[in-house]
Copies of this chain bind each other. A is one copy, B any other.
Amino acid sequence: MIIVLRPDATKDQVNHIIEKVKVLGLTPHVSQGTERTIIGVIGPEDVLRVTPLEVFPGVESVLPVLAPYKLVSKEFRKEGSVIDLGKGVKIGGKKAIIMGGPCAIENEPTLREIALAIKECGVSVIRGGAFKPRTSPYSFQGLGEEGLKILKRVGDELNMVTVSEVMDTRDVGLVAQYVDVMQIGARNMQNFNLLKEVGLTRKPVMLKRGMASIVKETLMSAEYIMSGGNFNVILCERGIRTFEDSTRNTLDVSAVPVAKQLSHLPIIVDPSHAAGKWGLVGPLAKAGVTVGADGLIIEVHTHPEDAKSDGVQSLIPSNFSSLMKELKAIAQAIGREL
């Protein structure tokens, strides 16, 4: 922590700050400059972080030196984490994992049809929402537990890993019982109680970046889950909110290498929610793999015209199949597998 003093800071003010630092058990290093005096406090920043040093008289600004996360950081674990999703599927290794499926589970035949279609392309993970976060209270809100049962049946039948979103602390037990991977949606990335609750399970959690969250905040949310003891966290970049209006969100591909530099956690890319239009999903999916993502999550629907949610951004199986071929060629070119 670096404390920069105002040019007009008095001696008493400086001493008051130094004393505060010492009381907290830390050692201040004062450096007198020509235009500013600074106090360096190099050591465990946590105790200082909760002290509002900026309100101390004479302080101009406070610059943190250390990152506020620990368990998610590269310093905690040097090599990348490989997370076991069950059914023989692991994420974080050489093989990039593709997840596919509809936005919402609508009924069993449709889900089975979609699952079969993507399995044929080599996909081993099926996603589908049973609890749907919808902007409007009048939109389809998902089938709830019935949807989870359908997902489990289809997953078991086809030996595919299942992913579904959990939105409510009260539903964590229920969702954990049916699915292989629990998804925390972008709108719940800072629903801290939900993070704590999934942190108490040992189920893999796929944590989507919030629309208005920087990468470091996404890591802090992962830290919440890990600090509860659940180290099976997969990050997901799905686009952030910007002024650009030709896509639903702006896919921030830089988030992938940035997260890889800061953290050992695997990270996947969701091109469907970023694009918001199926015609852009392919290019973004390919960019996601190339930029270093450990996987992708793509919306696929056999009848997008009838989809109850997000049909606009769903690929039909034939397009998905072509995309998978392209992705395989790219994966190979960059030394990965698909």
CB of A292 closer than 8 Å to a CB of B: yes
- The size of the chain A interface, using a CB distance under 8 A, is 109
Are A137 and B44 closer than 8 Å at their CB atoms?
no
CB of A15 closer than 8 Å to a CB of B: no
Q: Which residues of B contact A320 (CB under 8 A)?
A: none
A246 interface neighbour in B2, B214, B304, Cβ under 8 Å: B214
Bound-state CA distance A310–B54 (Å) is 10
CB of A308 closer than 8 Å to a CB of B: yes
Bound-state CA distance A237–B125 (Å) is 34
CB of A89 closer than 8 Å to a CB of B: no
Q: Which residues of B contact A9 (CB under 8 A)?
A: none
Encode contact with B along A135-170: 1 for CB under 8 Å, 0 otherwise: 111111000000000000000000000000001111
Are A283 and B291 closer than 8 Å at their CB atoms?
yes
Return the chain B residue nearest A216 by Cβ: B246
What 9 A-B pairs have minimum CB-CB distances, sorted nearest first? A33-B42, A212-B212, A52-B311, A333-B333, A187-B190, A290-B290, A287-B287, A257-B283, A329-B333
A330 interface neighbour in B4, B32, B290, B314, Cβ under 8 Å: B290
The copy count of this chain in the complex is 4
Are A42 and B50 closer than 8 Å at their CB atoms?
no
CB of A96 closer than 8 Å to a CB of B: no
CB of A90 closer than 8 Å to a CB of B: no
Q: Which residues of B contact A69 (CB under 8 A)?
A: 136
Q: A42-B31, A133-B192 are in contact. Are A280 and B308 (CB under 8 A)?
A: no
Q: Which residues of B contact A227 (CB under 8 A)?
A: 137-138
Are A168 and B167 closer than 8 Å at their CB atoms?
no
Q: Which residues of B contact A240 (CB under 8 A)?
A: 212, 242-244, 250
Are A305 and B55 closer than 8 Å at their CB atoms?
yes
Bound-state CA distance A223–B136 (Å) is 8
Bound-state CA distance A34–B65 (Å) is 12
A283 interface neighbour in B36, B55, B256, B312, Cβ under 8 Å: B256
Bound-state CA distance A289–B283 (Å) is 10
Return the chain B residue nearest A274 by Cβ: B254
Q: Output the least CB separation between A227 and chain B (Å).
A: 4
CB of A252 closer than 8 Å to a CB of B: yes
Are A246 and B258 closer than 8 Å at their CB atoms?
yes
Bound-state CA distance A65–B289 (Å) is 36
Bound-state CA distance A311–B51 (Å) is 8
CB of A75 closer than 8 Å to a CB of B: yes
Are A135 and B246 closer than 8 Å at their CB atoms?
no
Are B241 and A261 closer than 8 Å at their CB atoms?
no
Q: Output the least CB separation between A190 and chain B (Å).
A: 4
Are B38 and A40 closer than 8 Å at their CB atoms?
yes
Are A66 and B36 closer than 8 Å at their CB atoms?
yes
Are A138 and B46 closer than 8 Å at their CB atoms?
yes
Q: A4-B65, A334-B330 are in contact. Are A243 and B243 (CB under 8 A)?
A: yes
CB of A326 closer than 8 Å to a CB of B: yes
